[in-house]
Amino acid sequence: MIKTADVVIIGGGISGVAIAYNLLKKGVKNVVVLEKDYLASGATGRCGAGIRQQWGTEMNCRLTKYSCEFFENAKEELQYDGDIEFKQGGYLILSSTQKEHEQFKKNVALQNSLGINSKLLTLDEAKEIVPFLNTEGLISATFHQKDGHLNPFHATQAYADAAKRLGAQIYTFTEVTDILVEGGKIRGVRTNKGDISTNIVVNAAGGYSQLIGNMVGVALPVFSERHQILVTETVAPILDPMVMSFSLNLYCQQVPHGGFVMGRGDEGEPRDLRITSGWHFLEEMTKTITRVLPPLKDVRFLRQWAGLYNMTQDRQPIYGPIDEVEGFYLAIGYSGHGFMLAPATGLIIAESILGEAASLPATELHLNRFKSGNLILEPSVV
């Protein structure tokens, strides 16, 4: 294994490989990614990989718009020989309470002002997009055609292959066991395969980010929470958009391959890094989905699994350096939307490390917001 590096990135999920790619593209030479298992073995390979620009804060609209446009051109930019399966069938977001409906009006106005062509729909209009939608109990919907979902394994592989072509060293099955700090500065990392000396470490360890924080002696204000998800057998295409609802607590998409992927968040999920599957999720999920999308009653459920959301108090990520340790950068705490932020994450962290002017509005996402109390008030987050 390599002995020294300019930057060591901990975590081979979509964040880690996106950061590596952006650093190399900007000319940093010696970039190392360390992954304890295989690429996308964490939340990335377990997620819905949905991407939407329909957010309720200007910051999130702009970050996800950037990401979405990146993915539209990813095949050329990353020169991937596979298919990242980006299906832009839109996100159809359902409201079922008056409060939510009022919020959606504000969201759409904001989104439209930022060049995101979302629309507020009546239920009849929503049924033009999903004819079998059961509108009972619903009030309205919003829709944006350019939203959609990708194949998370291939998206990660695409970034990783491009980064490797530019010279990145990606070590899988290599676990960081400690970080060496001297006089408040990063000096290197210790792994199960040897030490690497470096002045810069990026914590992109997803659900394990707090353990990486402990290695430099900093208690990060994050915790991890299990989120479950399931996939059905492959059937003929009937559902174009991702259907989601905050108030009904569901998302459901039909991937290009034909299976339906769906999930929800349960109250009281374990916070101890467990990713086993539970029966309660399955019952609640099937009850809701067969009511909202009735034809799914006859589709067979194939497999269930779970992954970790890395959570912060305001459900927004933490980006950038920290005051306590020089050379230690964070790209963590995404709650349920770190996949769609990845292209933005890559650029934000690369610019931050290189001290370049920020192209994207992410300064508010610094760790210090938890000290100053300037939390981000995003009304439309899972």
Partner 1 sequence: MEDNTIVCRCSDLTLQDVRDLINKGYTSFDELKRISRIGMGPCQGRTCMQIVLRELSIATGKPISELSPGIFRPPVKPIKLGEIARHALEGGEVNHD
Ligand X SMILES: Cc1cc2nc3c(=O)[nH]c(=O)nc-3n(C[C@H](O)[C@H](O)[C@H](O)COP(=O)(O)OP(=O)(O)OC[C@H]3O[C@@H](n4cnc5c(N)ncnc54)[C@H](O)[C@@H]3O)c2cc1C
Query: Site residues (CB under 8 A) for partner 1?
Result: 38-41, 45, 153-154, 157, 231-234, 257, 277, 282-284, 286-287, 289-291, 296-305
* Dist CA 301 CA 231 (whole Å): 6
Which string of x and - marks every residue 202-241 that binds ligand X (by CB under 6 A)?
--xxxxx------------------x-x------------
371: its two tokens: 């000290």
Provide the residue type at 15 as one letter.
S
Residue 80 C-beta: closest distance to partner 1, Å: 12
* Dist CA 26 CA 160 (whole Å): 16
Q: Which one of partner 1, ligand X, none is in contact with 296 (Cβ closer than 5 to 8 A by kind)?
A: partner 1
Q: Which one of partner 1, ligand X, none is in contact with 132 (Cβ closer than 5 to 8 A by kind)?
A: none
Q: Which one of ligand X, partner 1, none is in contact with 49 (Cβ closer than 5 to 8 A by kind)?
A: ligand X
DSSP code string of 41-98: TTTGGGS--EE----SSHHHHHHHHHHHHHHHTHHHHHT-SS----B---EEEEE-SH
Question: Interface with ligand X includes 90 (CB under 6 A)?
Answer: no
Question: Interface with ligand X includes 176 (CB under 6 A)?
Answer: yes
Give the number of residues written for the chain.
382
Q: Of the candidates 9, 24, 32, 46, which one interacts with ligand X according to CB under 6 A?
A: 46
Residue 24 C-beta: closest distance to partner 1, Å: 19
305: its two tokens: 């699994």
Q: Of the candidates 5, 7, 31, 36, which one interacts with ligand X according to CB under 6 A?
A: 36
Q: Which of 10, 368, 381 is nearest to 208 (CA)?
A: 10
Q: Of the candidates 7, 35, 147, 353, which one interacts with ligand X according to CB under 6 A?
A: 35
Other Cβ atoms closer than 10 A to 373: 6
Q: Output 279 or 373, the one with its CB closest to partner 1.
A: 279
Residue 175 C-beta: closest distance to ligand X, Å: 4
Q: Which one of ligand X, partner 1, none is in contact with 339 (Cβ closer than 5 to 8 A by kind)?
A: ligand X
Residue 339 C-beta: closest distance to ligand X, Å: 3
* Dist CA 171 CA 238 (whole Å): 41
219: its two tokens: 């208690």
Q: Output 130 or 204, the one with its CB closest to ligand X.
A: 204
Q: Output 217 or 258, the one with its CB closest to partner 1.
A: 258
* Dist CA 176 CA 245 (whole Å): 38
5: its two tokens: 């590096």
Question: Interface with ligand X includes 15 (CB under 6 A)?
Answer: yes
Distances (CA, A) of 103 to 43, 114, 372: 29, 17, 27
Q: Which one of partner 1, ligand X, none is in contact with 240 (Cβ closer than 5 to 8 A by kind)?
A: none
* Burial bucket for residue 298 (CB in 10 Å: 0-12, 13-18, 19+): exposed
Residue 266 C-beta: closest distance to ligand X, Å: 11
Provide the residue type at 284 as one letter.
E
Distances (CA, A) of 265 to 14, 144, 318, 335: 22, 23, 22, 11
Binding site for ligand X (CB under 6 A): 10-16, 34-37, 41-44, 46-50, 175-176, 204-208, 227, 229, 263, 307-309, 334, 336-340
